[in-house]
Amino acid sequence: MAKKRKVNLDDVLVTPDVRTAWEAVVSAILPAMALAGVVPGQVPTESLELLEDGSLRMFVVVPLPTGGVLEPELIIPPGQWAWRPGLVN
């Protein structure tokens, strides 16, 4: 199993392509969220994990009122993200 490290969303910069891709991922699950009765304001903030290969995994765990969860994710390859200037990681 690959090692993962939690990363603060405010500590990284991503390319515009990553933002567009994440919006597409989230848009794809909006109908399922609506059918399950999820209130958009109750959806948690995205989380990030740094993977062993230098990629980031962006995801959000959306609890469903009907039970279970939706967990959309996007793997962001190295080169599509960077540490915010001034951070030492």
* Domain spans in the chain, listed from the N-terminal domain onward: 4-83
In this prediction, residue 78 carries a pLDDT of 96
| C-alpha–C-alpha distance, residues 62 and 44, integer Å | 7
Strand partners, 73: 59
Q: Within the chain, how many helices (H) and strands (E) appear?
A: 1, 8
In this prediction, residue 36 carries a pLDDT of 87
| C-alpha–C-alpha distance, residues 88 and 11, integer Å | 10
Q: What is the pTM of this model?
A: 0.85
Closest CA to 22 of 87, 80, 85: 80
Across the chain, which has 89 residues, the per-10-residue mean pLDDT values are 80 95 93 87 90 95 88 96 82
In this prediction, residue 41 carries a pLDDT of 82
